[in-house]
Structure 1
């Protein structure tokens, strides 16, 4: 059975919005074509997840937000995330628009571009057009098409050839108005032999139903290294659907670090396309489900180049009556000789009502490769708890230590101390510690 897509805007209104924003003609045409596609495409098919029952129609409308020039003008809900960032490179999006942008002067002197995507299409149109919607394509499904039609605000990060960015570049994306559309698009381009770390946080501060339809596109040039870290902590009334894609050229590397700490229904798909020889991918995903959340997380690595290693690690903890589907997909194409794809998915359930499903998938069309997977779903080991209690530790603290030990293989590998501490704090909050 197919579900008809309900369009949140008509073509005439979308065209007016594009013109009012001063967008170039090619972008307006792209939006209108994507909207037309959305009307004919179906929802993505997710393993054991009925997306048609989710809140996927509450887009809202485009609403302007008041920009600010100093961080002390920012909403209190994100104050902790932007503390001590006055001298760093930072973008803040509030609902439909970016309201604050700062690029460190020394990076601007090296040719780094860091601005909202709506500004980038006007000032750097040819560069943006070369990459926009090339990794997450509008014709994949109706959600991708609607994203391509409706995105606003967003982030554009460009790092020129041979430029090494030593300090993390950050973005905070806040939704606190249930009537405002929240569809940011993140586009990162790292030219040959460059290096950059990008970190973003998604935060909601509202009590009415809302939707985040997000897309991330990362293009890693030959010999370049991109570290992409993202933490989602949206409220229980916000549905979060996010597609992340990286295309990696010869000897390039993408390192994903994803913290799924939402309180509402969440679906995410994080994929590395290892296009070039010697390209590599590492993906580390940590998730905690609570309440009646329904979660579906997919991590993928698609190998085209030779000598391409990929590694995917996912750890999920489910409490209350939360349910999760954890998918790992390694696809090794014909000709990708000496590729090495490894993946591990583990789910820990803290309640008899919680449910978890770990699905490792290997799709291999080449003989001269190495691939492996490990998956497990289980409850807290009572013998481990008993051992800790025998050393004078309370049952509550013993269970907490076991949970943290379960998550440690992911958390301990996060190279950014601030992000590591933030994730630990969010885990404690979601587990009710």
Structure 2
């Protein structure tokens, strides 16, 4: 496997907090921030700094045969050449691609604005029309400076009929307080197919914020997976807009928390065109005194007839002090749709434990089997093969940490 760290400029650590003209969200004072306390966040104490250059020992996702960014000029004048390059290099050499999409996909927000002002690291993935990329594209970004903020970006653009698989992960190389603020913009052209896997495994003292959005063209397909295993506190917005008729999006999320971690996902499935399909499923394991929030909205715009949308969030609690909130929502402005949602929060079923123990298993083993079965439902959304095996390995590694 050949992967690479996302590159950027290397400004001196110590840049001041920008004057943005927008205010930091306040806990319970800003809509959408009712469950995530960020009143102790001091951005001025966490100056911006670039990512590290090494990935050894931090990568969670390692698909076989992966390729990473390169600063070499790809394909020279060949318009059919795949581009996987550091974003700052791409801004200089491929402005005709980057300029059309950079910063136009994610919705305005405080943390997206901070990122736009202070980002140091990022990657462009550009797949030209009708090009099918066989090897997985791997991006690894490492927060390696304690007491700093890392603002990173990923821009993936698939032109009409293109196909690609992108693995995008951010991790820590230290165990001290820090901040990670990421922006992900996915543009899936007409009849294109993107498989995008995002994961964060930063240390459990790091703030995590994210602004992520995909826009799909006509008959486009998106398979989006997100894994949230690290972090101390924060919030991630994950949005999918089905802008083209006949487009399809499957979104799968998994998280596993322990100690005093707090994780917050705010998802949106926006159906902006007719005959579109979305399927979102999140599963979370919440243990110790940790907390988790999932808030999901299915929005059907006027004229988006024959929409078929589904969303679910299920949380499994371990211990009496773990807590989770699951808040599904519907906003339907068309009259020929099928939209459903489900949410569940529960402790481990004692009858399942009793059954397994009656077969001779010790309690810790029995609990581990129940948890594996619960999160295994995420893996089962994929066909047998390298993708499924990589995801199963990532989940197993996290369970070994959470359950001991």
Band the TM-score falls in, shorter-chain normalisation:
0.7 to 0.9
TM-fit CA distance, 1:205: 1.6
Residue from 35, 39, 50 that aligns with 2:21: 39
Maintained 8 Å contact 1:194/1:225: yes
Q: 1:326 to 1:56 in 2, by over 3 A?
A: farther
- Could you tell me how far apart the structure 1 residues matched to 2:138 and 2:274 are? 33
Give 1:169-318 correspondences, 5 Å limit: 169-318=137-286
Deviations 1:197-227 (A, max 9, x none): 1002211022321111100000010000111
Q: 1:46 to 1:156 in 2, by over 3 A?
A: same
TM-fit CA distance, 1:82: 6.0
TM-fit CA distance, 1:151: 1.0
Residue from 114, 135, 143 that aligns with 1:167: 135
1:378 aligns with 2:349: no
Residue from 86, 90, 111 that aligns with 1:116: 86
TM-fit CA distance, 1:333: 0.8
Q: 1:56 to 1:255 in 2, by over 3 A?
A: farther
- Could you tell me how far apart the structure 2 residues matched to 1:80 and 1:342 are? 29
1:60 aligns with 2:40: no
- Could you tell me how far apart the structure 2 residues matched to 1:305 and 1:56 are? 41
1:76 aligns with 2:56: yes
- Could you tell me how far apart the structure 2 residues matched to 1:347 and 1:162 are? 40
Maintained 8 Å contact 1:254/1:272: no
TM-fit CA distance, 1:311: 0.5
Q: 1:226 to 1:63 in 2, by over 3 A?
A: closer
Maintained 8 Å contact 2:48/2:118: no
- Could you tell me how far apart the structure 1 residues matched to 2:42 and 2:277 are? 36
1:423 aligns with 2:400: no
Secondary structure of the structure 2 residue equivalent to 1:128: helix
Maintained 8 Å contact 2:36/2:233: no
- Could you tell me how far apart the structure 2 residues matched to 1:63 and 1:270 are? 24
Deviations 1:349-406 (A, max 9, x none): 0010000111111111111000101111110000011111111222111111111111
Maintained 8 Å contact 1:199/1:229: yes
Q: 1:429 to 1:124 in 2, by over 3 A?
A: same
Secondary structure of the structure 1 residue equivalent to 2:38: helix
Maintained 8 Å contact 2:125/2:155: yes
TM-fit CA distance, 1:35: 4.9
TM-fit CA distance, 1:83: 9.2
Residue from 309, 312, 315 that aligns with 1:341: 309
RMSD: 2.6
1:90 aligns with 2:68: yes
Maintained 8 Å contact 1:56/1:211: no
Maintained 8 Å contact 2:111/2:211: no
- Could you tell me how far apart the structure 2 residues matched to 1:80 and 1:265 are? 20
- Could you tell me how far apart the structure 1 residues matched to 2:310 and 2:336 are? 15
Deviations 1:109-168 (A, max 9, x none): 94111001011000011321110111114xx22211111111122010000000111221
TM-fit CA distance, 1:56: 5.2
TM-fit CA distance, 1:309: 0.5
Secondary structure of the structure 1 residue equivalent to 2:365: helix
Deviations 1:233-280 (A, max 9, x none): 000121110111000011001111111111421321211001010011
Maintained 8 Å contact 1:55/1:211: no
Gaps of 5+ in 1: 1-16, 22-33, 68-73, 92-99
Q: 1:101 to 1:289 in 2, by over 3 A?
A: farther
Residue from 312, 325, 334 that aligns with 1:366: 334
TM-score (structure 1 length as normaliser): 0.82
Secondary structure of the structure 2 residue equivalent to 1:77: coil
Maintained 8 Å contact 1:90/1:101: no
Deviations 1:53-87 (A, max 9, x none): 2535144244586x6xxxxxx453337866976xx
User: When you count helix as a share of all residues, which structure comes out higher?
Assistant: 1
